[in-house]
A and B are shown apart, each in its own frame.
Chain A
């Protein structure tokens, strides 16, 4: 075993960082799209059903097929990491979008009414009242999305995007369980760390009365 680690230790570390980069970049992109979209849906609720349904459909596409669909696209297909980030972003949209929407819609109507009646502008209501009160919900969505995407990111190795999936695929091809575990265990640990860390953050941002 020490021989295995001296041989693969640096590769595992490098691929873990790559895995983190792919997942982190996708989470940033998904948050940048889904939070404003969720806020917009609270202002135009008649769009909520179709938009959330669309995000739902994206999530049902098998991950390997999604990577395959994106491969021939210009610009995206030039670099595997781009394909991986776009695909992971698509998977992360639904939980963040849905939780942003339900988080804001779930705020006590009396609080929103008073915010309007006291003369807070739309922007002030959003940043002083709605987003702070919905933050724990949004973080719960981000947490679900992150844990899911840490797992899906292992498939990205199939299109050459790197990450811990590379060790798993290599292990499967050479029937070497040590390599499979060298990819699977850090991926599982990353998912657990993201779950724990974001869970703590979620509790931290919970409004005091809840």
Chain B
């Protein structure tokens, strides 16, 4: 399989000199989902935004289907890449139908085609076009807004989807429903997905590979199925921090558990999981 997205020796530093991406090299296979994990400020979103040139790297290169994005027409590049963010960014003055059809509209597609495409996509993401097409974003719940955002991202028939914490603001039950829907959708549509998330569970559920960033450096790039068993300290630290609540409930006492150490009830991969 060829790389759909490739980061080559990528650097990004702010005009103030803060290094946000530090020599990242990574290749994403066509049709796979890659989750990027890491602390806030570790460079996850910056890395994602270099793909559609929302951020221009200060060193190295990003390639999409073998072509350097810097040499591509920026408008054409962006229209060929779906983009979903936590805040959805739905246009408040457009109906749901028009929000979904905005990329075909910019391509100059006829109104009838756009409406048909919007309705098909709404059905694909689990929204009945009859009851949702004419609504405005403020008349939707958080989960419904995310579904519309996803439908809009798919409207240009992109091969690549960039998703920046798409379900981060949703309650756990809605998030689980959205994850199920997305997993099913990705299985059918075979998109290359780059997913930024804080949620380890989400990464394990949706991704084929997991990439861990720390202070702009790539720490780990492994198959999702191997992530929990990794002995790398940064991975263990992340896993421990994520599973504190469950461990605490299992331990049944009020003693706070360590956030980072695998000892004393922490994650012990050599023993097959949690103590």
Contact = CB atoms under 8 A, between A and B. Distances in A.
A119 B92 contact: no
Per DSSP, are chain B's interface residues mostly helix, strand or loop, or mixed? Answer: mixed
Contacts of A119: 74-80, 103, 106, 156
Contact of A117 (B78, B90, B91, B138): B78
Contacts of A207: 92-93
Interface string B50-85: 001010000000000000000000111111110101
A209 interface: yes
A118 B79 contact: yes
Interface residues of B, number: 28
Contact of A132 (B74, B78, B93): B93
Interface in A180-210: 207-210
Contacts of B92: 108, 111, 133, 207-210
Q: Name which of A115, A121, A129, A208 has the most chain B CB atoms within 10 A of its CB.
A: A208
A117 B83 contact: yes
A116 B54 contact: yes
Nearest to B137: A209
Contacts of A210: 92
A173 to B, nearest CB: 52
Contact of A120 (B52, B106, B137): B106
A110 interface: yes
A65 interface: no
A128 B91 CA distance: 9
Contacts, number: 71
Nearest to B102: A118
Q: Name which of A108, A118, A210 has the most chain B CB atoms within 10 A of its CB.
A: A118
Nearest to B76: A119
Contact of A129 (B52, B79, B87, B91): B91
Given A113-B54, A208-B136, A209-B136, A118 B78 contact: yes
Nearest to A120: B106
Contact of A118 (B74, B87, B103): B103
Interface of B: 52, 54, 74-81, 83, 85, 87-93, 102-103, 106, 136-138, 152, 156, 162
Interface of A: 108, 110-121, 124, 128-129, 132-133, 207-210
23 contacts: A110-B85, A112-B89, A113-B54, A113-B85, A113-B89, A114-B88, A115-B89, A115-B91, A116-B78, A117-B54, A117-B81, A117-B162, A118-B152, A119-B78, A119-B80, A119-B156, A120-B102, A121-B75, A124-B106, A128-B91, A128-B102, A208-B136, A210-B92
